[in-house]
Amino acid sequence: MSTLRNEPTPPAGGFRRFSRAAAEIGVKVEPVRYPRGTRTAADAAAAIACDVSQIVKSLILSTGDGFVLALTAGHHRVDLHKLGALVGRTVEMADAERVRAATGYAIGGTPPFGHIDSMPVYLDPALMSHDIVYGAAGTPDTCFPIASGTLLEVTGAVPADFVVG
């Protein structure tokens, strides 16, 4: 698979934890490192030369007594009302501290699976229009390619319309 400028993936704790979680479920991780980090999905797509719609945003939302994971294509935003209707309760974006507590990862590096807590997962159907998509690999400067069908399978996600964009 692709690598950027042959830069090695750093042995950061988040990446190691994610790699172990991926191996446990049979997903081979071939990491790609962003040479200068990224702040947005568009930055990530430009850094690895893919379409922004191939970037998987792993967004953690709070339901008040638990969490929901929304796997959203990079060009979309979560519609809190639509997702809340799917979940059956009000949802709001979880803050950085709660994301780390629920997943073990920092915002910007949260992968689509391998979290501390299990939670319902919803998937933006736009991700399924690509053979390969790119999710965070446990750190804000590392991602990995995964077949969209494999992503759907290993996350147990429910494809649903919960986005705007």
Spell out the domains of the chain, with CATH numbers in brackets.
13-152 (3.90.960.10)
Write down the pLDDT at residue 10.
Answer: 42
Write down the pLDDT at residue 75.
Answer: 97
The separation between CA 152 and the C-alpha centre of its own chain, rounded to angstroms, equals 12
The DSSP result for 91-143, as a single string, is -EEPPHHHHHHHHSS-TTT--SS--SS---EEE-GGGGGSSEEEEE-SSTTEE
Helix then strand count (H, E) for the chain reads 5, 10
Task: List the chain pLDDT tens, one digit each, 165 residues.
Answer: 333 333 343 445 889 999 999 999 999 999 888 877 677 899 899 989 999 999 999 999 999 899 999 999 999 999 999 999 999 999 999 999 999 999 999 998 999 999 999 999 999 999 999 999 999 999 988 999 999 999 999 999 999 999 997
- Give the burial class of 4: count Cβ atoms within 10 A of its Cβ; 0-12 exposed, 13-18 middle, 19 or more buried: middle
Write down the pLDDT at residue 38.
Answer: 75
Write down the pLDDT at residue 34.
Answer: 80
The separation between CA 160 and the C-alpha centre of its own chain, rounded to angstroms, equals 16
